[in-house]
Amino acid sequence: MTVRLHVWRVRPAAVPRALWGMAADRRRLRRDATFVKLLGTGRGGEFGAGKADLTRWAALIVGDATVTPPMRGVTASCVITLEPVASRGTWAGQAPFVPGRAPQQDGMIAVLTRARLKARKAPAFWKAIDPVSRALPQAEGMICAFGIGEAPVGFQGTVSLWRGAADVVRFAYRQPEHAAVVDRTTREGWYAEELFARFRVLDVTGDRAVIGWRDSP
């Protein structure tokens, strides 16, 4: 199974075209792929309510065929090609990522989280993750990270790339702000649906500045 995450920039004047494409292009892409999600992104490495970047968009496409989104008004783009290593949970009632049988090896790792928030829990969730958003850029081994979303408030997620699996574990379980959110997630039941997936990064092509790539994390 191959997973491709397309991320692209558009001119400010092309934002209406990009918004239209999020609705108009979905059906065509779904005919050619196993699973497709067209996504907005957060500003820079930020994630959270009210932090959308209308000049950066993304498409997550799962399938054996190479399917490219239209990317209306694009000025620069980047494609991250991934192989699932582990996946837990569902996205829109589906389990889109099937891990391969090959054992995980050393090398770059991508992590994708996605959740559908319970409406009455959303304010507490956004407040809790603000410290995590501030701490993430300083995390050891982090190459880039940005928020993704299907709707302004209730559907949210993150994408992050790391130098290796040890860096992911260190941040997830030893970074105080993130560990506190993990603990509260279990106790307070913020999510109506959630998914956590980890991938081996097979390739990164195009303009890496689009995803906020940094050479010296």
Q: pLDDT tens string for the chain (217 positions)?
A: 789 999 999 999 999 999 888 888 888 888 889 999 999 998 876 666 567 899 999 999 999 888 899 899 999 999 999 999 999 999 999 999 998 766 556 799 999 999 887 877 777 776 767 777 777 777 889 999 998 988 655 567 889 999 999 998 888 776 666 667 666 777 777 788 999 999 999 999 999 999 999 874 4
Tell me if 60 sits within 8 A of 5, measured CB to CB: yes
Tell me if 161 sits within 8 A of 108, measured CB to CB: yes
Question: So what's the pLDDT on residue 31?
Answer: 85
Query: Which residues partner with 109 through β-bridges?
Result: 162, 200
Question: So what's the pLDDT on residue 184?
Answer: 73
Q: Enumerate the H helices of the chain as residue ranges.
A: 15-24, 26-32, 122-135, 165-174, 176-188
DSSP 91: B
Quick count: other Cβ atoms within 10 Å of Cβ 206? 15
Question: So what's the pLDDT on residue 178?
Answer: 66
Question: So what's the pLDDT on residue 27?
Answer: 80
**Which whole-number Å values give the CA distances from 167 to 80, 143, 147, 161, 174, in the listed order?**
19, 10, 19, 10, 10
Instruction: At 22, give phi and psi (nearest 5°).
Output: -60, -30
Tell me if 108 sits within 8 A of 143, measured CB to CB: yes
> What would the two tokens of residue 36 be?
């497709």
Question: So what's the pLDDT on residue 50?
Answer: 67
* b/e per residue 2-38 (b: at least 16 CB within 10 A): ebbbbbbbbeeebeeebeebbeebeeebeeebbbbbb
Name residue, tokens 């589906």: 94
Question: So what's the pLDDT on residue 117?
Answer: 79
Question: So what's the pLDDT on residue 151?
Answer: 61
Q: Report the Cα–Cα distance between both ends of the chain, in Å, rounded.
A: 29
List the one residue out of 174, 43, 165 whose CA is nearest residue 110.
Answer: 165
Q: Kindly report each contact of residues 119-125 with a partner whose C-beta sits within 8 Å and lies 24 or more positions away, as own/partner.
A: 119/154, 121/188, 121/189, 121/190, 121/191, 122/49, 122/153, 122/154, 122/190, 124/188, 124/190, 125/190
Question: So what's the pLDDT on residue 217?
Answer: 44
What is the C-alpha separation between 70 and 21, in angstroms, rounded? 8
pTM of this structure = 0.88
